[in-house]
Amino acid sequence: MARVVSKWPDSISINQAIAVLGISKPTIYDWFTARGAPRNENGTIDLRRFIPWMIEYRVSQAVEDAESHAPSTSKSKADERWKQARAELKEIEVAERRKQFLRADDVNAHWIRCLTTLSQSLQSVPTGIAPRLIGKDIVGISAELERVLCAAVESVREMYLRGEIESGAEPIEESPGE
């Protein structure tokens, strides 16, 4: 088995740390003197002690920054957005009960029922029309197909108007002023 050799040094100089971290010399000296950043007696930085300290320090700074910049009303703003969303939901529910609009699922189900009925009506066309097309030219065939197809569509429309095709929901009512 190959021996693993670390490519990271145990310690680095202050100038190396400044270059790697992208910080200024006053910042790193402030970390040592005022913030308690660890360093070796010879002035170099022991990476095994410095990296955990730096992570902890940066996290605590981020938390402090977030807390100091967070408006004191953030909870009330979130509450206000929640109340607004609840109010909008209630308005939608009331409008639905008043039949001012339909749910998309209800509209889809209704159209599936309508198209299924139309499809069944159109599927009967070939067997009923075949004998009537014998001996006709292209103009006669086209006219007969148009007549039969229009009659099939019209019969489905009449079924819908008589209530023989369940819509599953009431039609949309127009509100006053529309």
Element (H, E) at 12: strand 11-12
Closest CA to 50 of 95, 111, 9: 9
Query: CA-CA distance, 89 to 31, in Å (whole number)?
Result: 52
Place of tokens 């429309």: 157
Q: Cα–Cα distance between 10 and 127 in angstroms, integer?
A: 90
The domain spans of the chain are 11-69, 99-172
This prediction has a pTM of: 0.36
Digit-by-digit pLDDT tens for the chain (178 residues) are 455 445 667 788 989 888 888 889 999 899 888 888 899 999 898 888 888 888 888 888 888 877 776 655 567 788 888 888 888 888 877 877 777 777 777 777 878 888 888 888 888 778 778 888 888 898 988 888 888 888 888 888 888 788 777 655 444 444 444 4
